[in-house]
Chain A
């Protein structure tokens, strides 16, 4: 049988902890280590249940990926799921391919998007445990004996994520833990995740939807309508500023309100999209006007800054 198709036991974190020993049916697990389960494969265990054996705890936590897809379809996902692809899908150099691994990730995203009720409040964090072995021109920062090492990609996919946004803050994989802990009000496991910056900056309840470019070649102008929608449950305080970072060098925003001076990256043009607050479910539209670039198209990263007249 093809070895890479098999489960890689040493990649499963539960393999390293007594309370998840898969064949130990004699010892029971302290109630605090029995999680709140949902979905298929949880065997009816409940949070804080007494008398659960290590084998039962392991089986409820470590499940086949098929159970994940079933729970997505049924809307019975637990609050947090980790997916570790099997070898053939893990993009590891030497025995797996990028194409198959990324197709596998895409299948997970597509399954989630196919259940709109689940997708509406889901965030997927895709990252890697190593950088693939290629040269990185950025010297890794030094924090302690454990690293961090070379940069690894991290992609956050969610209807709640800022779209087309590139974050430059330094994080590491313990940021995933700190994000979960702070989202659900849990204590940190140790000092490392306690101080790890979370991913909250990557999310916004303001959804930015861009329209098509409309040109006027006689006047050398381009217009674009951008719609900003509050998908959250609380109002976003105004004024709401739409900031265009990394705008193509040959393009310029001719109807800008100003350029950012207090919300990095500075020097980016912004336009006031709303002087007042944006209620939950409400939208505002703003019309952008660009000078026709001498060459190429118009590209930018969009973000919002709210609650200030001087972003």
Chain B
């Protein structure tokens, strides 16, 4: 390859990486991955179960929003259509779910069933970071059973959630409280980091730089 072209491509790669990288450090949402392991409750008498998401206003008026996406079901699939108690919640377990809390829709709940054989459900959560007040806004996940009125499956959380996030200005995984189901027992929740798309872009940009440098060295050596 023409040495000038190689050098210029390398410069271009560095320039692209330099332009893209700063954006990666200013994420104003809290992104995490959730793994609900349901193997322990498969086949228990109150199945099939329902997956319930809530985004609730605390004592302030600042609005928060959450997007739940990239659902991955193991051993089963979503069924029926979602039950929505909210002016703002949209979507379903087959695609993605979006919820916004605001003063006119303070308590927002959406839930949908999944087939009895489901052993695991994974998804990504993107949560805004607006601090509400002395009672924080909260994002939470519950499991409901199929009895009349869809009672909440009790967990090690007194409020019966599988996962709770009190929304702060800079949430980390340490703020995500996860719990285990009690009756039926055995369902667990795990929260972990998801690679941010912007970090992936920086990674690709950096790899391009390295490739360019390697080619350049090869040219000089030749």
Contact = CB atoms under 8 A, between A and B. Distances in A.
B166 A297 contact: no
A297 B54 contact: no
B160 A214 contact: yes
Given A164-B134, A219-B149, A224-B135, A214 B106 contact: no
Contact of B138 (A163, A213, A293): A213
B161 interface: yes
A210 B59 CA distance: 10
A223 B159 contact: yes
Interface in A288-310: 292-293, 296-299, 302
A215 B134 CA distance: 18
Contacts of B109: 215, 217
Contacts of B158: 223, 225, 285, 287
Nearest to A296: B106
Interface in B69-84: none
Chain B interface mostly helix, strand, loop or mixed? Answer: loop
Contacts of B142: 214
Interface in B94-109: 103, 106-107, 109
A211 interface: yes
Interface residues of A, number: 25
A216 B152 contact: yes
Contacts, number: 79
Interface residues of B, number: 28
B134 A214 contact: no
Contacts of A79: none
B140 interface: yes
A212 B137 contact: yes
Contacts of B149: 218-219
Nearest to B108: A215
A234 to B, nearest CB: 26
B103 A212 contact: no
Given A164-B59, A210-B134, A215 B103 contact: no
A210 B58 CA distance: 10
A297 B161 contact: no
Interface in B125-156: 133-138, 140, 142, 149-150, 152
B166 A212 contact: yes
B57 interface: yes
A292 B56 contact: no
Interface string B79-123: 000000100000000000000000100110100000000000000
B169 to A, nearest CB: 12
Contacts of A298: 59, 106, 135
A222 interface: yes
Interface in A153-199: 163-164
A297 B106 contact: yes
A213 B103 contact: no
Contacts of B138: 211-214
B89 to A, nearest CB: 11
Interface of B: 54, 56-59, 85, 103, 106-107, 109, 133-138, 140, 142, 149-150, 152, 158-161, 164-166
Considering the complex of A and B, which 3 residue pairs feature the smallest CB-CB distances, nearest first? A212-B138, A217-B85, A297-B106
Interface of A: 163-164, 210-219, 222-225, 285, 287, 292-293, 296-299, 302
Given A211-B135, A215-B107, 17 more contacts: A164-B134, A210-B58, A210-B59, A210-B135, A211-B136, A211-B164, A211-B166, A212-B58, A213-B57, A213-B135, A214-B142, A214-B159, A215-B56, A215-B109, A217-B107, A218-B150, A297-B59
